[in-house]
């Protein structure tokens, strides 16, 4: 018999447990008769870990994660823990988890859907055909460089090595090869040394390992403009940590709701970490208004990237698309006639059977 896939679920805080429960139900349903066995375990991160063990990442849960095939996370944070010092805040648990797992490649797919055009600030012709994956380097660059301040002067050092750039380029190159064979690398090579190394390394590696993929380089300021003006021109975007952080939030506005967006964070060979892009949304926690789609689509990415179950990933995504096309929708999408988290999850479970 095949070994069961070990998946650790970290529900976290706020709407995290609500969307995690929905995503686990859908994962169980889609794998049910497929022969893919799952071994699910639950762990503690964020405020829920602080309340249980005084640390934002429960050490036993971290051990479980290290031995898992994949990790699913709901969301962390909330007002009740905001007074705590930096290293004790819920978000510190998530940063530590990403670092411990070495998940350097953050994949954020985003797309437009005609049924949701009206929920965005863009015109229909701008949104038509948007279907992109943004690949963000997650463990290097300015967020991880030396920092300092004497109160009058402050600095944040930005460092990238050729090796760090090569490994993220390979991830983006493979994705581009499997999709439209178009890669757009975003940097600030007219000003920054790290960007000049980035551009040179991407150019060389793509030419030698992915000669079948067309590569374009765009400066980050121009990329921000194109993302709002002509987003459909992008297929796979590759960029460094801070530019990816900013551009992925901008890109999320094209989808119509933060609650729809999934993400995957991949390491060289260890388990991947999958989480919806949104936070713990304390304003709607406990009201049944959380959109479960970002979490459910994150499970599709888990099936694809960690369990290599592409057919199941596509079945799940097709079921979600059927529901997003005709409803039911949660309140942030359909404020006057909305369905609950439970009802949208039921609709997706129903669409899986079609």
Among 25, 98, 199, 278, binds ligand NAD (CB under 6 A): 278
Contacts of 83 (CB under 8 A, 6+ apart): none
Residues 131-190 that bind ligand NAD (CB under 6 A): none
Residues 60-79 that bind ligand NAD (CB under 6 A): 75-78
In terms of Cβ atoms closer than 10 Å to its own Cβ (0-12, 13-18, 19+), residue 340 is middle
Q: Is residue 284 near ligand NAD by the rule CB under 6 A?
A: yes
Q: Are residues 306 and 270 in contact, defined by beta-carbon separation less than 8 angstroms?
A: no
Concatenated DSSP letters of 121-189: SS-HHHHTT-EEEEEEE-SSGGGTS-EEE-SS-EEE-----HHHHHHHHHHHHHHHHHTTSEEEEEE-T
Would you give the binding string for ligand NAD spanning residues 15-34, x where CB under 6 A is met? Answer: x---x---------------
Active site residues: 143, 188, 221, 245, 249
Count of all residues that appear for the chain in the document: 354
Among 36, 192, 232, 258, binds ligand NAD (CB under 6 A): 258
Contacts of 327 (CB under 8 A, 6+ apart): 115, 334, 339, 347
The residue among 235 and 275 lying less far from ligand NAD, judged by its C-beta, is: 275
Tokens, residue 300: 């599709």
Would you give the binding string for ligand NAD spanning residues 285-324, x where CB under 6 A is met? Answer: -----xx--x------------------------------
User: Which part of the chain contacts ligand NAD (CB under 6 A), choosing from 109-117, 152-160, 233-241, 271-279?
Assistant: 271-279
**By the criterion CB under 6 A, which residues form the site for ligand NAD?**
15, 19, 75-78, 91, 94, 258-259, 275, 278-284, 290-291, 294, 330, 332
């Amino acid at each position: 018999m095949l070994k069961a896939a070990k998946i650790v679920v970290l529900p976290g805080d706020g709407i995290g447990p609500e969307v995690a429960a929905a995503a686990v139900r859908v994962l169980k349903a889609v794998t049910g008769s497929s022969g893919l066995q799952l071994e699910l375990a639950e762990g503690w991160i964020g405020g829920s870990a602080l309340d249980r063990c005084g640390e934002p990442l429960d050490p036993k849960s971290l051990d479980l994660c290290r031995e898992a095939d994949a990790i699913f996370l709901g969301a962390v944070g909330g007002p009740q823990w905001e007074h705590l010092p930096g290293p004790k805040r819920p978000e510190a648990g998530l940063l530590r988890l990403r670092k411990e797992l070495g998940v350097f490649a953050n994949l954020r797919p985003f797309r437009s859907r005609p049924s949701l055009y009206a929920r965005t600030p863009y015109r229909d012709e701008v949104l038509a055909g948007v279907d992109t994956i943004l690949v963000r380097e997650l463990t290097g660059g300015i967020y991880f460089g030396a920092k300092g301040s004497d109160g009058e002067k402050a600095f944040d050092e930005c460092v990238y090595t050729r090796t760090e750039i090569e490994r993220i380029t390979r991830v983006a190159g493979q994705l581009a090869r499997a999709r439209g064979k178009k890669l757009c690398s975003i940097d600030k090579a007219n000003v920054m040394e790290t960007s000049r190394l980035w551009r040179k390394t991407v150019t060389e590696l793509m030419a030698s390992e992915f000669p079948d993929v067309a590569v374009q380089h765009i400066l980050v300021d121009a990329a921000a403009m194109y993302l709002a003006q002509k987003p459909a021109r992008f297929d796979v975007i590759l960029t460094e940590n801070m530019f990816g952080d900013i551009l992925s939030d901008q890109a999320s506005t094209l989808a119509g709701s933060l609650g729809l967006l999934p993400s995957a964070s991949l390491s060289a060979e260890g388990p991947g970490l999958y989480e919806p892009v949104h936070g713990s949304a304390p304003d709607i926690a406990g009201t049944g208004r959380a959109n479960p789609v970002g979490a459910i689509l994150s499970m599709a990415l888990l099936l694809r990237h960690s369990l290599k179950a592409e057919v199941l990933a596509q079945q799940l995504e097709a079921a979600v698309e059927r529901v997003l096309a005709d409803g039911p929708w949660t309140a942030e999408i359909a404020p006057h006639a909305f369905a609950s988290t439970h009802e949208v999850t039921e609709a997706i479970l129903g669409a899986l059977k079609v």
